[in-house]
Structure 1
Amino acid sequence: MKKFLVFLFSMFSVQLPVVAEELSVNNQVDFANAQWNKAFNAGDVDALTQLYKNDATLSPGNGAILKGRDAIGQLFQSFVDNGVTNHRIDTDSIYVSDNQITQIGYWQADGKNAEGEKISFGGVLSLVLAKTEEGEWVIQSHIWNMQP
């Protein structure tokens, strides 16, 4: 399947702009991933949280489920404050139905360990995009784990 332009967690706008119908699903996923990555890597948590629906859910692989933009923003702010950067996404699979696109893939980012040394880490992610009544794609659900 084609990649869906997003995001990553690498470009921004308050919400993903309406994407022309002629764009392929892969291009939409790729765009969405680029928007997400741009916002996160710039440390712009406000722009990042605007990519999520107001009632979005997020599970960061620790058994918790965060609900809503405020809770999601607090988590991402903690990552930014702790020096996590260079986030990227590699799409593996895309599933489409009606006004929803689900992406399964891999993520990777850089940070620092307790000694201040650069480290890389990553894992698997699942991201569900929902099309709003205005025709914009926003994140409804985001789940990831971290590989040891």
Structure 2
Amino acid sequence: MTALASSIKHDIAAAYAAWDSAFNKADARAIAATYVSDAKLLPPTHQVISGPTEIESFFAGLFASGFADHRLVVIDAGGDEKIVYGTAHWSANGRTADGASQPAGGIATHVFERQPDGSLKLKLHTFN
């Protein structure tokens, strides 16, 4: 079981690194591609955002408002061969109304589905 747990944590860390890379390139389409077709994104705005098209639009809006420099740091990871979860501290830099940099951050929860090729795609993502 320890080997599976170690492998899951490694897979989550790799998924987080890829997600951060897409975010830090302001590539909303690449971020959306990391979600399954029926994924849900639950941001602190209390919206329920469904599927890659709406998720892409959400992140495009964040990029337009000046968010950058995203980083996910694993708190915990677990699951099995099909469904895995990760919790993370997240941080990013936003912009105030006058354009000054403003740090943001919180806690995120991610539920992934393992794909036939072994990769992970997000099924549920919530953050505060």
Cα displacement string for residues 17-60 of structure 1 (whole angstroms, at most 9, x for unaligned residues): xxxx9x82221111100100000110111111111101110000
TM-score by length of 2: 0.90
CA distance in 1, matches of 2:19, 2:121: 11
CA distance in 2, matches of 1:135, 1:101: 12
CA distance in 2, matches of 1:136, 1:95: 15
Unaligned 5+ runs, structure 2: none
Compare 91-100 and 76-85 and name the one that shifted more.
91-100
2:48 maps to 1:65: yes
Query: Where does structure 1 differ by over 3 angstroms across 4 or more consecutive aligned residues?
Result: none
Unaligned 5+ runs, structure 1: 3-20
CA distance in 1, matches of 2:88, 2:22: 19
Match of 2:29 among 7, 23, 46: 46
Q: Secondary structure at the match of 2:26?
A: coil
Q: Give 1:119-134 correspondences, 5 Å limit.
A: 119-134=102-117
TM-score by length of 1: 0.79
Q: How far apart are 1:62 and its partner, in Å?
A: 1.9
Q: How far apart are 1:117 and its partner, in Å?
A: 1.0
Partner of 2:95: 112
How many residues of Structure 1 are paired with residues of Structure 2 in the alignment? 125
Q: How far apart are 1:78 and its partner, in Å?
A: 0.3
2:74 maps to 1:91: yes
